[in-house]
Structure 1
């Protein structure tokens, strides 16, 4: 798959299917959420990417009632951008479907739908998601247990197997199935990243097939080499006066052409001879040597 920056830039540039739910996901993926007097709400998060901040601002202006640009404060914190949003009580209720964003029962019910779940996780991932380039791991990270619960509710609605853990005080929800990750990219509409991951999977499958073929050939070669070495040692130890001229002829041909299959080796031996007869003469020498 392409880099995480490429994936997030693609997601931020896609048309929004549900701006309100995408914005809800983005804000639950933020670094802090503070409920203020009268139902007002302050939310903040950080990102290295200006296009993600523009994405959140665009969602806010489209989805929230009476949105004013001054409600958002953008500043720099080291190599990252710090972004704070102050929501009015009306906007908070509109966004979180209730007065308390820490108990979003109505939002959880909405996330039972696949389209709602896809929109929510898309916004959440843009703020605090990570994906391995190999497409073997994708995760959502947040500071609040309620955020993890909402992501898990969404992934369950999308019928994706997921796990969770706490890592350095962060709530982590992750996918490890490449097929689930591809399905999630498809649900988000991230076609370019999906094609990139499909190409990577095809490349890995071809590499695995080639490796299996090479390993099989190497194994066959090693077995053939051991068999010829064993036959040569047995032939050297055997009293050849006890062997028939035909047996000596067959064994010498085998030692002279160790890499030939028996069907081809028969062409190197005078007269008409079958594979089973070649086996018989070789086995006779090995048995005599023992």
Structure 2
């Protein structure tokens, strides 16, 4: 898979199918909700990535029908961009009517649907997600247990296997199966990253197939080498006066051409000889040596 920056840039550039749910996911991912007196609400985001900030601005403009002067603030401190919006009680009620991120039970019921779950996890991942380049690990991180619970509810709705752990002060939900990660990318509509991961999977499968073939061939060569060494040692120990001329002829041919399969070795021995006959004469020498 391409880099995490490539994946997030692709996700941020996709059309928002449900801006409110994506914004709710981003809020939980950033742990950026502050409830003020009287029902007023402050939401804020901080990121080093300009395209993520543009994504948040776009979500907010979709969700907030009427902006007030100086209501939103975009600032920069070093490499970090910060965006904050102060909502009046009326705006907060309008924005999150029936789907308040401050009431996760309502939100959790909504996340039983695949469409809603994909939108929520997309917004959450863009703010606080990570994915390994090899496509073997993807995770969501937040400081609130309720955020982890909502992510897990969403992944369950999407039928994506996942695990969880606490890492220092963070609640982590992770995916470790490349197939599950591919399913999640497909749910998000991240086609470019999905194709990149599928190509990587195909490349890995081909490498594994080649390695298995090489290991199998190496194992066969090692077994053949040991068998020839045992036959040579047995032939040296055996009293050859006890062996028939045909047995001696067959064994010498085997030692002279150790790499040939028995079907080809038969062509090197005068007369008509089958593979079973070759086996018989070799086994006879091995028994006599014992």
Calculate the TM-score normalised by the size of structure 1.
Answer: 0.94
| Unaligned stretches of 5+ residues in structure 2 | none
Greater Cα shift, 268-277 or 171-180: 171-180
Contact 1:98 1:104 in 2 (8 A): no
- 2:226 is the counterpart of 1:230: no
- Please report how far the alpha carbon of residue 77 of structure 1 lies from its aligned counterpart in structure 2 after TM superposition: 4.5
Check 1:31–1:74 CA distance in 2 against 1; reply closer, same or farther (3 A cut): farther
Q: Secondary structure at the match of 2:70?
A: helix
Partner of 2:175: 175
Check 1:70–1:180 CA distance in 2 against 1; reply closer, same or farther (3 A cut): farther
Please give the per-residue CA displacement for 1:73-96, whole angstroms capped at 9, x wherever unaligned.
333455433333323323333444
Greater Cα shift, 172-181 or 231-240: 172-181
State the superposition RMSD in angstroms.
1.7
Contact 2:40 2:87 in 1 (8 A): yes
Contact 1:143 1:171 in 2 (8 A): yes
- 2:115 is the counterpart of 1:115: yes
- Please report how far the alpha carbon of residue 134 of structure 1 lies from its aligned counterpart in structure 2 after TM superposition: 1.2
Contact 1:48 1:81 in 2 (8 A): yes
Check 1:207–1:176 CA distance in 2 against 1; reply closer, same or farther (3 A cut): same
Check 1:199–1:165 CA distance in 2 against 1; reply closer, same or farther (3 A cut): same
Check 1:42–1:195 CA distance in 2 against 1; reply closer, same or farther (3 A cut): same
- Please report how far the alpha carbon of residue 109 of structure 1 lies from its aligned counterpart in structure 2 after TM superposition: 1.6
Check 1:93–1:173 CA distance in 2 against 1; reply closer, same or farther (3 A cut): farther
Distance 1:225 1:211 in 2: 21
Greater Cα shift, 25-34 or 9-18: 25-34
Contact 1:65 1:91 in 2 (8 A): no
Q: Secondary structure at the match of 1:154?
A: helix
1:214-253 alignment to 2 at 5 Å? 214-253=214-253
| Unaligned stretches of 5+ residues in structure 1 | none
Contact 2:250 2:278 in 1 (8 A): yes
Greater Cα shift, 92-101 or 110-119: 92-101
Check 1:238–1:71 CA distance in 2 against 1; reply closer, same or farther (3 A cut): farther
- Please report how far the alpha carbon of residue 45 of structure 1 lies from its aligned counterpart in structure 2 after TM superposition: 3.4
Check 1:91–1:200 CA distance in 2 against 1; reply closer, same or farther (3 A cut): farther
- Please report how far the alpha carbon of residue 147 of structure 1 lies from its aligned counterpart in structure 2 after TM superposition: 1.2
Contact 2:266 2:274 in 1 (8 A): yes
Check 1:222–1:177 CA distance in 2 against 1; reply closer, same or farther (3 A cut): same
Distance 2:271 2:95 in 1: 90
Contact 1:35 1:41 in 2 (8 A): yes
Q: Secondary structure at the match of 1:22?
A: helix
- Please report how far the alpha carbon of residue 143 of structure 1 lies from its aligned counterpart in structure 2 after TM superposition: 1.4
Greater Cα shift, 257-266 or 96-105: 96-105
Greater Cα shift, 14-23 or 78-87: 78-87
* Paired residues, number: 290
Contact 2:250 2:282 in 1 (8 A): yes
